[in-house]
Structure 1
Amino acid sequence: MSGTTAQPTPPSRTTRTRSWWGWGWADAHPDDAECAAMGALVPGTLAHPLPVPLVRDLRIAPPAVIPPASLAHLVDSDPGPRASHAMGKAYRDIARALRGRPGRIPDLVARPTDEREVADLLDWAGEHRVAVVPYGGGSSVSGGVEYRGDAHRAVLSLDLTSMGRVLEVDVPGRAARIQAGALGPDLEDALRPYGLTLRHFPQSFEFSTLGGWLATRAGGHYATGRTHIDDFVQSLRVVTPAGTSASWRLPASGAGPSPDRLFLGSEGALGVITEAWVRLQERPSHKASAALSFTDFDAALRAVRAVAQSDLSPANCRLLDAGEAAMSGASHDGSAVLVLGFESADGPVGGRLGQAVDLARSHGGRRDDTPYAQDGAPADAAVGAWRSAFLRMPYLRDGLARMGAVAETFETAATWDRIPELVEEVRREVGAAALKASGHPATVNCRLTHVYPDGAAPYFTVIAAGRPGDEVAFWDDLKAVAGDVLHRHRATITHHHAVGRDHRPGYDLQRPDPFALALKAAKGALDPRGILNPGVLVD
C-alpha cells in the first residue's frame, strides 16, 4: 500500500509492578498515614486503615481444567496472575479485595500472540465448557472482566496484551493498523515518530488497551468532537467461535448496517477484537487553556451550553461544581469552575479560547486578567490543580477504601433540558440514601466531562462512610438509587464506562425490546456454546 510503513513495535516492558487489587502502580498508593489523614475528613470511617491485601492470603484452588499440550505454553496457572485477572478496578472490586472476597478467580490466564492462538483457545474452551473473559488492561469499572456464577466448568481470562503491536502506519491517509492489546502509552510512542496521534486519552490511558476501548465504546478526555473511540474506527478484525469477522477499511459506507457497530461496545460477549484500523491526526503543537469561576451553578450550565453550541470545539470544557472544584483544589471560595482548553496542529488557538471565555463571561463567569496559558506557558493555577487531581484521584479512592469509606463515581448523559433537575435529584436522593443507611452525611459532587450541542455528560463522585464489612452492599444500594433517578430522566446508564455486569439492570431498561431480541440472536449465532464473557449484555 502506497505510503504505508510497517512498524513492528513490541509491547513495552517496565520494572514497576501493577497493583493486583487496586488502581495502577503498587508503589503509587497512599501510605497508612495518608489513608488515615483522608479518613479523618470523612465522618464515620475506620480508626485505622485496612491492611493491603496479599495474594498469599487468598484461598486459590487449583485450576479445574488442564489445557492440552498444544496450548500449555500460552497459559499461566500461578496464583498471582490469576488473582490480578479476577476483577476490574471499580470501587466494589477494591472493597472486595480489601475484605478478602474477590469472587471467582479464573482458573487460567492465557496470553495469545496471534489470531490463530485466539481461535484455538476458543475452540478448546467451547469443547470443555470453559468461560472465556477477554481482558485488556483490566481497568474495567463496571464488572466487565470478572465471571459471576457457576454455570461453567472453569474460567479462562484471555489477556490480549501480548498482541500489542502497531502493524502498519498509513501516513498520507493518517491511519494505522494496531493490535487490540496495545496499551495507550505504547500505542502513542509508536505513532510519535510519524508526528501522528490517535488522540484518545481516557483517565485509564496508562492502564488500558485499544481493544478494551473498542469493546467498551470508551470515551476519551476530549470534551467535544470525537469524544468516543467509535469515531476513530475504520475497520475491525474480530475472532468469534463462529469464525473471524474482518470488515473493509473504508472512510465511510452506506452499505447496510455497519458490521463494526455490532462489535463496538460488545464487551467480549460476541467475539474477541484482535486488531483495528483507526483514524489518526497530526500531533497538536499549539495549546491554550483558562479557568473561570461561577457563583451560580445553573448559570455555569448555561455558559457551557453556549460554548458547546458554538463552532469553537474546545478540547476541554469541563465544569466542576463547588464541591468538585474544592476537592481538586481548583477553587477555595465555594465557586464552581469551568476549565477550558483548545489545541491545534495548524496554528495558535488563543483567539478561539478568548471567544469561549467571552461567552462564559456573558453568563456570569469570572476570570482575572492574567494571560492565557498557551504554547508552553505555565497553566492557570486552577487548571493545573484540576489536572493533577484528575490523575491522582483513583489512588486516593483506594486509600479512602482502606479506611472503610465508599468513594466511587458514576456517569451518564442527558439532553440539556433535563440536566439541571437531573443533577439536583442525584445529589439529593443519593445523599439522603447514604445518610439513612449509615447515619453519616455523604458528599455528592458533579462535574461535566463531555459536552454536545444537544446535551452533556454529568459525572458524579460519592464519598461516604460505609457500613463496616458491608461496604459493597452499601454502595450497591446507593448505585440503585442513582440508577432510578437516571431512568426517570431518561438519562443513559453509562456515557462511557460500559455496561459490564454492574450496569445490566439499567441497560435492560434502556434498550428497546426488539433490539434485545436481535442481540440475543447474534449472541446465539456467534457464540453458540455461550462461553464468551457470560452475563455481559445478554443472559
Structure 2
Amino acid sequence: MTRSWWGWGTVEDAVRGAELDTLLARARTLVPGELTDHAPPAVGALGLPRPRANPPASLARLCSADPADRAGHAHGKAFRDVVRNLHGHLPRVPDLVARPRTEDDLVDLLDWCGREGIAAIPYGGGSSVVGGVEPRFDDGRAVVTLDLARLDRVLEVDPVSRAARIQAGVFGPHLEDQLRPHGLTLRHFPQSFQFSTLGGWLATRAAGHYATLHTHIDDFVESLRVVTPAGTSASRRLPGSGAGPSPDRLFLGSEGTLGIITEAWMRLRPRPRWRARTSVRFADWGAAVAATRAVAQSGLAPADCRLLDAAEALVNAGVAVGGGVLVLGFESADHPVGAALERAVELCRAHGGEPSADLARSSDDAGTAQDRGAGGDADAWRSSFLRMPYQRDALARHALIAETFETACTWDRFDALHQAVTEAARHAIRRATGAEGVVTCRFTHVYPDGPAPYFGVYAAGRWGSTVAQWDDIKTAVSEALSAHGGTITHHHAVGRDHRPWYDAQRPDPFAAALTAAKAALDPAGILNPGVLLPAPARATRAVPDRGREG
C-alpha cells in the first residue's frame, strides 16, 4: 500500500468509482456550486528548496532528503493541509527527515540539532489536524523532522499486571498485532488508528474507542520514557502515586515541545468476548440529549454512546431521522452485557427513544476478538466513520469545505454552547462563501458531567480560496466555543492552529510554569517551535552534549 503524500491514508483506498458518485450526489443536495475535480500535483512539480542542513557522517544513514519524504512530512492531515497540498503550496518543508532506529540514535540527532540550532519536529503518524507537525515559523533555521516509525516494537509484556512496555513509534494496527498473541489489547481506537502512533496519542492526549469511562490515552499510562535535550526522563512504573506532581502528566499533551516520548508502559485489558449493540432514534433533539445524559450518568459505562443529530445522521450515515440517533454498544471480556444494553435502552425509551429493529440481533457474542455488527444505523455509522477522512479529501478536491471541530463542556452549558456555535458557524459560512452551508453535531464522548460535541461544517467553497474561507469559519466558531465555556479542543490537540484560544484558556501561572519547563528541558528552543508556546528566537550559541540519562 502507498501512503498518500498529499492527503489521508493510502492511495489505493482513496474514494473513487461508485463511492465517489454517491458522495458527490449527496453533496449536491446539501450545498450549491460546481463540483470540478482538482488533481494533486506530482511531487516532482513542487519545486522544493534545497536542504539547508547536512548531517554529520555518523547520522547520514538516518536522514533522507528525498522530495517525497520532505513533502509528505511538511503538513498534517487537516482540511487546510490537504487543500494547500492540492495547490502545491508548500512554502516550508523539513530540510531532512530523520528516522532513528534506536533511542541512542535519537539522542545523537537531538545533540546535533542542539549544537547547530536546527529545529526538530517529532513526528509519529503525521495525522495532526492542528498544525502540530508543520514547520510554520520564519526565522531562517533549518528543520529536521524526527520520524519515530522505526521504534515500533512491544518490548515486554507483563501478563500478571496486564501491561506492556511499548516503543512510541508503533502504529495502531501493528501494536494490536503484537498484543493479540497474548490475548490482550490496549483498546484505544481513535479514528486515525490506522495511521497514528502510540507516541502521537500520548503527546496529544488522544481520545479513542471508548465513549465513556476510559476515554483518553492518559488513562492507560503506567510510566513514560522521554528523551529531552537536557536529559532522559524515565518515570517509575506504578499503578498510582501521590508523590508530588506527576512527571508523566508533564509530558502527556506536551506535543513534542518538552521532549520526545520513546517508550511507555501501558495498561492493557483482555480482548473482549461479549458484545451487544443497537441504535435508538429520537424525534426530538432535546430529548435525545437528555437520554444521552441519563445513560452517561447511569454508571453503565457503555463502550459506544455516540449521539448524532439529524444532519449528521443523514450526511454521514444516510439515516433520515427527526431529532437524532444514539449509537449504543457494550462489551466485556468477563461477562455478558445484554442486560446493560437493555437497561440503557430503557433509559432512552423514558425520553421518547425508539430502538431500531436490530436490537433483537444485538445478542451476546462469545469467543471472538472481532466486532460483529448489529446491522442498521449502528453499522451504517461505523462504516461511514472509517471512510470520513477519505471522503473529506474527495470533497476538498472538488472545492467543498468539509471539516470538523470539537470541544467539551458541562451539561448545564451545552444547550447555549450548541446554539451559539451553530449560529456562529452558519453566519461565518454565509460571510465566507455567500451561500448557506450545513452544520452538524455529534457526541464523540460523554461523561457524567458533560459531553464532547463534535461539529461538522459543509459548504461550497471557491477553488483557490477554500483555505482562507475555512480559516474565517474556524475563527468564528473558536471564538464562540471560548465565549461559552467550551475547551478549544477535547482531543485534537493544540498545535499551531489552536494556539490563540489555548493561550486564553490556560491560567497565567500555569503558562509561566510551562515556559520555565520548556527553558529547562529545551534550552536551545529546538523542539517543535511555536507549539503550545511562542517560538523562541534562534539560538546564538551551541548547546553542549549531555549524558544519556538524567
TM-score normalised according to structure 1 size: 0.95
**2:421 matched to 1:426?**
yes
Asked whether the equivalents of residues 128 and 153 of structure 1 are also in contact (C-alpha less than 8 Å), the reply is no
**2:239 matched to 1:283?**
no
**2:239 matched to 1:259?**
no
Q: Cα offset for 1:366? A: 1.0
For 1:154 and 1:518, how far apart are their aligned partners in 2? Answer: 28
Q: Residue 392 of structure 1: SS of its match in structure 2?
A: helix
Match of 2:393 among 376, 382, 398: 398
Q: Cα offset for 1:435? A: 1.1
Query: What's the counterpart of residue 47 of structure 2?
Result: 59
For 2:417 and 2:323, how far apart are their aligned partners in 1? Answer: 20
Query: What's the counterpart of residue 492 of structure 1?
Result: 487
Query: What's the counterpart of residue 443 of structure 2?
Result: 448
Q: Residue 148 of structure 1: SS of its match in structure 2?
A: coil
Give matches, 1:16-415, under 5 Å: 16-31=1-16, 34=21, 37=25, 40-329=28-317, 331-368=319-356, 370-376=359-365, 378-415=373-410
Asked whether the equivalents of residues 283 and 321 of structure 2 are also in contact (C-alpha less than 8 Å), the reply is no
**2:517 matched to 1:522?**
yes
Asked whether the equivalents of residues 135 and 160 of structure 1 are also in contact (C-alpha less than 8 Å), the reply is yes
Q: Cα offset for 1:287? A: 0.3
For 2:493 and 2:509, how far apart are their aligned partners in 1? Answer: 21
Runs of 5+ unmatched residues, structure 2 = 366-371, 535-550
Asked whether the equivalents of residues 45 and 404 of structure 1 are also in contact (C-alpha less than 8 Å), the reply is no
Asked whether the equivalents of residues 289 and 383 of structure 1 are also in contact (C-alpha less than 8 Å), the reply is yes
Asked whether the equivalents of residues 432 and 473 of structure 2 are also in contact (C-alpha less than 8 Å), the reply is no
Asked whether the equivalents of residues 31 and 458 of structure 2 are also in contact (C-alpha less than 8 Å), the reply is no
For 1:83 and 1:437, how far apart are their aligned partners in 2? Answer: 29
For 2:184 and 2:209, how far apart are their aligned partners in 1? Answer: 17
Q: Cα offset for 1:112? A: 0.2
For 2:30 and 2:389, how far apart are their aligned partners in 1? Answer: 17
| Corresponding letter in the other structure for 1:85 | H
Asked whether the equivalents of residues 356 and 376 of structure 2 are also in contact (C-alpha less than 8 Å), the reply is no
For 2:153 and 2:481, how far apart are their aligned partners in 1? Answer: 40
Aligned residue pairs, count: 524
Query: What's the counterpart of residue 6 of structure 1?
Result: none
For 1:330 and 1:256, how far apart are their aligned partners in 2? Answer: 51
Asked whether the equivalents of residues 45 and 403 of structure 1 are also in contact (C-alpha less than 8 Å), the reply is no
Q: Cα offset for 1:115? A: 1.2
For 1:54 and 1:238, how far apart are their aligned partners in 2? Answer: 37
Q: Deviations over 1:97-151 (max 9, x none)?
A: 1111133111000000111111110111111121100000111111100111222
For 1:40 and 1:103, how far apart are their aligned partners in 2? Answer: 33
Runs of 5+ unmatched residues, structure 1 = 1-15
For 1:158 and 1:53, how far apart are their aligned partners in 2? Answer: 25
Asked whether the equivalents of residues 38 and 400 of structure 1 are also in contact (C-alpha less than 8 Å), the reply is no
| Corresponding letter in the other structure for 2:10 | W
Q: Deviations over 1:45-78 (max 9, x none)?
A: 4442111232111011111111000000000011
For 1:45 and 1:21, how far apart are their aligned partners in 2? Answer: 24
In percent, how many aligned pairs have the same letter?
Answer: 60
RMSD: 1.4
Q: Residue 137 of structure 1: SS of its match in structure 2?
A: coil
For 2:116 and 2:305, how far apart are their aligned partners in 1? Answer: 50
| Corresponding letter in the other structure for 1:423 | H
Q: Residue 240 of structure 2: SS of its match in structure 1?
A: coil
Q: Residue 40 of structure 1: SS of its match in structure 2?
A: helix
Query: What's the counterpart of residue 9 of structure 1?
Result: none
Q: Cα offset for 1:39? A: 5.0
Which one is further off, 328-337 or 450-459? 328-337
Q: Cα offset for 1:428? A: 1.4
| Corresponding letter in the other structure for 2:514 | L
For 2:373 and 2:7, how far apart are their aligned partners in 1? Answer: 33
| Corresponding letter in the other structure for 1:218 | A
Q: Cα offset for 1:79? A: 0.3
Q: Residue 286 of structure 2: SS of its match in structure 1?
A: helix
